[in-house]
């Protein structure tokens, strides 16, 4: 690391080589940046919120206005142009899915045309290789082929089973997990598999959670719905999986889906309204979703010990410490604790907050923006969370 004085000397040496006009401009830039200037993002939304199968490009402006920043769609240049004109980024297949002895000519035909397009965000290597029993070596082969071509964009893939993530997590630049439990498994299953995917990916690799919005009965060719209570998620379940994704360190959240010719969102106005609400809440609380996660000496006590674990034998209350470095009109900078009730039950519990022993702390229930006061006594706050409810504590100051 260059020390401050050495760095200043280097800057002065560089200045000598410039013309007077360039000197003035460079000095201005150095002084401005030295005062803390940052390059402003051209995207009004910085946290990745995407949707699969966006349908016709005529939908793109509407999806952007709802709050989506990314779509999973085609690498066709006309499609990329349409996405770019509306400010959306695209995750797209490089012409095919990874498999043994893939057609390199077909892949290169797609990649050479689209890789430098400003709307292309990442190359989608394969969808759920764990379900198709695709050999990780074949996925790695496609990834290595793309890297050998010096592609500019990162690679990604999505898996369905979190416990299979270990076999694939080291291949792409970005890991994705889709687990769609509504209608056949407890909703907590989603968080369990997402946690396993995070463990496999490690703390640094980007992880995108993909959340179910559809009803499994619309896919009889891939899901035996007979005898099962198939349905789309409720608003509370949708919001819960979204905030669980935050607590588990997801660096982006996508939803499946808008229109894949099976599930058509326009035919389900209630689900579309629910999804728009949840996406708008992500944007409202965006400083949380973009916040840094931090460790603290977590202590949670359940007043009814039988409620300590949910239906998939994970803690009923999922919690995380978040450091918000840049707030907005609804959230101040500072440290926060987020608690998510992962169950469909009322949970009475006590939780310790960092550096808070006796006094009142600001709290709020998602999606409310109004603050309330929660009392800490002898280092613990005693609380009750409604089914699937999320509560936020902070910024962590005494009031």
Supply the CATH number for residue 235's domain.
3.20.20.80
Is the residue at 101 inside a domain? yes
Nearest to 149 by CA among 192, 114, 108, 196: 108
The answer on pLDDT for 26 being more than 90 is no
Question: Is pLDDT above 90 for 32?
Answer: no
Q: Distance of CA 150 to CAs 100, 101, 119, 146, Å?
A: 22, 21, 18, 7
Q: Is residue 43 part of a domain?
A: no
Burial category of 210 from C-beta neighbours within 10 Å (exposed 0-12, middle 13-18, buried 19 and up) = buried
At 97-121, the pLDDT tens digits run 999 999 999 999 999 999 999 999 9
Tens digit of pLDDT for each residue in 41-66?
Answer: 334 568 999 999 999 999 999 999 99
CB under 8 A, 24+ apart: contacts of 260-268: 260/52, 260/53, 262/214, 262/218, 262/219, 263/213, 263/214, 263/215, 263/218, 263/219, 265/213, 268/232
Residues 211 and 310 in one domain: no
User: What pLDDT digit, counting tens, does each position of 304-361 carry?
Assistant: 999 999 999 999 999 999 999 999 998 999 999 999 999 999 999 999 999 888 999 9
* Residues 144, 187 within the same domain: yes
Kindly report the average pLDDT of the chain as a whole number: 89
Q: Does residue 238 share a domain with residue 116? A: yes
In a domain, 39, yes or no: no
Which pLDDT belongs to residue 225?
A: 67
Is 87 within a domain?
Answer: yes
Which of residues 284, 313, 332 is at a domain's end? 284
Mean pLDDT of 281-292: 96
Of the listed ranges 183-187, 217-221, 225-229, 309-313, the least confidently predicted one is: 225-229
The number of distinct structural domains making up the chain is 2
Range of 94's domain?
A: 48-284
Asked whether residue 372 is domain-assigned, the answer is yes
Residue 32 is assigned to a structural domain of this protein: no
Least confident of 41-45, 237-241, 371-375: 41-45
Asked whether the bond before 226 is cis by omega within 30 degrees of 0, the reply is no
For residue 271, being part of any structural domain is answered with yes
In a domain, 7, yes or no: no
pLDDT at position 23 is 33
Give the model's pLDDT for residue 45: 64
Tell whether 140 and 271 lie within a shared domain.
yes
What percentage of the chain exceeds 90 in pLDDT? 83
Kindly state whether residues 104 and 248 are assigned to the same domain: yes
């Amino acid at each position: 690391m260059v020390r401050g004085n050495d760095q200043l000397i280097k800057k002065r040496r560089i200045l000598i080589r410039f013309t007077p006009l360039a000197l003035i401009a460079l000095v201005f830039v150095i002084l401005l940046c030295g005062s803390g200037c940052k390059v402003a993002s051209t995207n009004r939304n910085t946290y990745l919120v995407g949707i699969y199968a966006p349908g016709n490009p005529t939908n793109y402006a509407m999806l952007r206005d709802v709050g989506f920043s990314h779509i999973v769609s085609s690498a066709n240049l006309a499609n990329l142009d349409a996405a770019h004109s509306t400010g959306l980024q695209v995750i797209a297949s490089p012409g095919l899915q990874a498999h043994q002895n893939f057609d390199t000519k077909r892949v290169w035909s797609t990649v050479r045309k689209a890789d430098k397009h400003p709307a292309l965000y990442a190359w989608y290597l394969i969808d759920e290789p764990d379900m198709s029993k695709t050999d990780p070596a074949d996925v790695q082969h496609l990834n290595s082929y793309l890297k050998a071509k010096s592609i500019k964009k990162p690679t990604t893939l999505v898996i369905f089973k979190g416990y299979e993530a270990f076999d694939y997590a080291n291949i792409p630049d970005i890991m994705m997990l889709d687990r769609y439990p509504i209608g056949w498994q407890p909703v907590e299953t989603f968080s369990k598999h997402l946690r396993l995917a995070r463990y496999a990916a490690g703390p640094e690799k980007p992880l995108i959670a993909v959340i179910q919005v559809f009803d499994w009965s619309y896919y009889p060719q891939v899901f035996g719905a007979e005898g099962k209570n198939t349905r789309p998620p409720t608003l509370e379940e949708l919001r819960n999986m979204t905030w669980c994704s935050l607590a588990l360190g997801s660096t982006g959240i996508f939803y499946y889906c808008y229109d894949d010719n099976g599930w058509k969102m326009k035919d389900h106005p209630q689900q579309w309204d629910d999804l728009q609400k949840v996406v708008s809440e992500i944007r409202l609380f965006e400083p949380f979703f973009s916040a840094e996660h931090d460790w603290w000496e977590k202590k949670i006590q359940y007043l009814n010990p039988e409620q300590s674990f949910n239906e998939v034998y994970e803690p009923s209350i999922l919690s995380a410490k978040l450091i918000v470095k840049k707030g907005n009109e609804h959230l101040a900078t500072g440290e926060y604790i987020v608690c998510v009730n992962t169950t469909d039950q009322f949970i009475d519990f006590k939780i310790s907050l960092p550096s808070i022993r006796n006094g009142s702390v600001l709290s709020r229930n998602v999606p409310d923006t109004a603050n309330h006061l929660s009392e800490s006594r002898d280092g613990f706050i005693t609380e009750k969370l409604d089914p699937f409810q999320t509560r936020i504590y902070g910024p962590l100051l005494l009031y």
